[in-house]
Structure 1
Amino acid sequence: MTPNRIVSCLICLLLAGAVQAQQAPPAAAPPVANTAPAGADGEEAGDQDDRAWRDTSAYPFGALADTALRLELVAKAMQLRDYCADRRVQDEFVRERLRRFSALSGRPEDCRSLLDY
């Protein structure tokens, strides 16, 4: 199975899950408790109310941009795994690509860590 076909299958699975989640009845969100300490002034209580309306902890999926980034990282990791496995590819080229991928993923990457994707 080619890497492009695998990525296409992953995208289809994620989209199918998103469609299924949209068709499911929404779950009741847990009530957000006011965690303001007793005797807090109105400004602190107002700040907590401002944060409460933006609570997304009950969302079944993250933001679309986050999903797109994870799919992009999976595709790049698969390509890098192929570079790591191919002895004809120069070591310096692989190291440079791993450095760039580390900058995107936000963690140190090597050929073994690519198995996490």
Structure 2
Amino acid sequence: MNHSSNEVKQLMARASAMLGREAPLEACGGELLRALLPALVNGTKEKNTYVRANSELALRAVLRLPHDDHFHQKCLLLLEEGAREALSDVVARVLRRAHGDARDARDRDEDLDCTLLT
């Protein structure tokens, strides 16, 4: 995430998301997560919308949010205090937004008048 190119940052976030979905991160050890999580947190603070969005999606995949809170808590314990607080803040913001988006989608579905479909 320290690279000057937004394309490289996007690729790093997308590769991290794939890693989070496909790899057994428990077996990889804490070193990978100690390096990856702060980098993704930094990505969520980027000005570029694609980098920020891809970093948020990658964090959700790597931390297995919201499905595996135990793994998320385990990851928090790997980090130092400052990194732990930054990650917690980002996770709260991302999950709140994701929850709000899901609620908005349900509201839109509920507002649909089925009589118009016949």
User: Fold conserved (TM > 0.5)?
Assistant: no
TM-score for the superposition, normalised by structure 2: 0.31
TM-score for the superposition, normalised by structure 1: 0.31
Q: As a proportion of its length, which structure holds more helix?
A: 2
